[in-house]
Amino acid sequence: MTLSTRRQAKRAARREARRALPLWRRLLPTWRITLGTLTALLLLAVGAFAVLYVIVPVPDPNAHAVAQNNIYLYADGTTEIARTGAVNRTDVTIDQIPLQTQQAVVSAEDRTFYQNRGIDLKGMLRAGWNTLLGKGMQGGSTITQQYVKNYYLTQDQTFERKGRELFIALKVDQQRDKKDILAGYLNSSYFGRGAYGIQSAAHAYYGVDVSQLTLGQGAYLASLLQAPSLYDVKTATPANREKAIARWNYALDGMVQLGFLTTADRTATTFPDPIDPQPATGLAGQAGYLVGVADDYLISSGTIDAATLKAGGWRITTTFEKPKQDAFVKAVQDELTGELDPKARPTTDTDVRVAGASVEPATGRVVAVYGGPDYAKQPFNDALRQDNQIGSTFKPIDLAAGLIAQHTVDGHPITTETRYDGTSERPVTGGPTPYAPPNEDDVDYGNITLRYAMVKSVNSVYAQEGVDAGLARVRDTAVKLGIPDSVRGMDPANTSMTLGTATPSALDLAGAYATLANHGQAHTPWSVQKLERVNPGGAVDVPKMPDHKATDAVGRNIADSVTDVLRDVVSPRGTGAAALDLGRPAAGKTGTTDANLSAWFAGYTPELTTTVGLFRENPKSHAKEPLAGTAGLTRVNGGAFPTKIWTGYMTAALGGTPTQQFDLQTGHGGPGPDSWPTTGAPTSSAPSATPSTATTGAPATTPSHTPSAPPATDQPGPGPAAPSPQNPQPTPSQDQPTPSSRPTQTRPARPSDPPTATAGPTGTPVAPAPAR
């Protein structure tokens, strides 16, 4: 019998034997069939696994996993201003997380983390069995799998998601270092209290950066990963508190078992109670205004684009100083808010708004801004708005342009002591458009110096002086000092530009005055000193910040001569007399616009420049409304509330610091005896400008606008030195009479003036005017 025949015989015998068996037994597969089937299934599974491993890609991170806060900090780098963004998360590198905190997480969540290949088959089988028993979809996930779920997938409890999680975890374990995986897990996990990522959790539970976590604190955060909301011991039920502490002990005991911690250190570790839950740091109060200024600077300076900033994850250290910011808010409350009574005066004491900014002249650092009372109630930042005319705070720019020009168009010198006709409503000669501005209270000042005209804010003088300097030069000087060339109201085709029709923001104006305080060296105000972001892979983005080098705006003699004049504004005779309460050397200028629609004070000491603007706005139409009647006052000038707020803020901001003196190089000596009005000072009602020198006795001459102006220089012509608040000239007396009013016979008499709101000395003229 051949081999083939014997095999056929054996098979036939097996078939006969099987037919002899009972039916139920014949239905069961033989061991050969079973083995073959299992082998085929195994081969099929291996093949399918291999195919799935190849075709299932590692996807891009989900949007929620990469969403982070932007965190804004005060200049000290630690005090938080606000957090923005939908997800409270700030990524950190693994090196920023204490090693013991890392080990506590491994002990609590996956003790085989450093040995496994990204998955735990035993855990998965156990979870699968429990799921089949009806105990719900359960997980036996490793740290790698949890990271994959958090970072790449979703929290859906489905077989499809679990399957993808397994294959992606295997790939991630092969492609990524264990440190990177652990960092990704800790940055993407939820810890409760709205905190995503361990950095936010460290702040939420212990008020510290993650790098400052102790052993006990790190172990508690590790225990939270299992049940974040239930294990918050400050809000948990007694039963859940016990479970949370038990989980904390489990993590520490595991650290001993894994060799991460000695028994002695374990015994010495006590449970660290977390702090009470804190309200989210949002944009209410001043935070929204400060964030707005910082964002505006970052985007406008080209440091970062809006989309990248909005993507989140940035840690932004600003230049704002919290004590100064708080002082600004308090000054507004003390000097203005406390004087308002909306119930008694609903038509005048509502919708009163303040815009303010404070800049360090030597550096351009913005140390404080006031954009409104509360961003949650008024989300428009008044410190940045460019729709309020600045009035007579523009006059120092006129003066600077004149000192640069040195001469009028027909050759007469322009110095701080040059005399002009101060007759109210005297038509300006040589201007591109007809203009005859009245002085406040329609006062005629006669023949006065530019210095005195600044102290009393005489409109007719500076309207003419600006034209004599050249309106194009005035505009150019404004831009060089720091007024943006894009603001409205700086068109040299309009003669009225000289009296402050420009609409820079409070921050823009502070920057321009800071240039004068810094001897003509200009810094564009800046509000962010550091910007950084940690990426998911651990790389740190640190964009290059702009340089803050000063530029030459005007010559030092020019800037210092203007400062010298502005010191006299802050004197008993000046419109900024209320600022004398500061008790330090100061210079500044008041401003009040036509129809009393806004009032300003811009001033500085050697170390700090601050502007304060006041206005009313209809909340529905956003139309400007007069300040008349505010706080029961008939009229509100720049010398009133704006100067008082400025003084209150500056007093607090500079409190405890040494008093600094102005170091001025004006290029000329002190004022002559005729710098201020005397008994013999002429009073003219002629409608022509009469600039003349104060020291040479040159005859007054009506300047012509036809000859071309001489080349601009940065050296003012010679002239007497100016008085200062530290060495003031006598106030007007019988020997130095106050300017006289216009003779009544020249036109019908005007109605008597109502009570004024000026904070200046008695006799300071105040009344509605185009600019003051």
Buried b (16+ CB within 10 A) or exposed e, 132-145: eeeeeebbbbbbbb
Which ranges in 20-113 belong to alpha helices (H)?
23-27, 31-55, 63-66, 99-109
Angle at Cα 207 formed by Cα 205 and Cα 213, nearest 5°? 80
Contact 668, 716 (CB under 8 A): yes
| Residue 392 annotated as catalytic | yes
Cα 274 to Cα 194, 231, 409: the distances in Å are 15, 11, 75
- Record the tokens describing residue 449, joined without a space: 């110096």
From the candidates 188, 189, 200, 392, give the one annotated as an active-site residue.
392
CA–CA distance, 517 with 362 (Å, rounded to integer): 8
Q: What are the residues whose beta carbons fall under 8 Å from the beta carbon of 408, sequence distance 6 or more?
A: 414, 468, 469, 691, 703, 709
DSSP string, 704-744: PSSSPPPPP-S-PPP-PPPPBTTBPPPPS-SSSPPPPBPPG
CB 610 within 8 A of CB 505: no
Based on the residue annotation, tell me whether 109 is a catalytic residue of this protein: yes
Both tokens of residue 216?
A: 């006990």
Q: How far apart are CA 505 and CA 619, in angstroms?
A: 19
Helices (H), 609-719: 641-653
Q: Which residues contact 692 (CB under 8 A, 6 or more apart)?
A: 412, 418, 419, 447, 698, 699, 700, 701
- Please, which residues bridge with residue 528 across strands? 318
Nearest Cα to Cα of residue 684 among 382, 423, 347: 423
Contacts of 770 (CB under 8 A, 6+ apart): 391, 437, 438, 459, 496, 499, 593, 594
CA distances from 707 to 466, 468, 714 (A): 16, 11, 21
Quote the radius of gyration of the chain (alpha carbons, Å).
39
- 109, 335, 417, 465: the catalytic one is 109
Q: Which of 105, 319, 128, 318 is nearest to 213 (CA)?
A: 105
Q: Kindly list the catalytic residues.
A: 109, 392
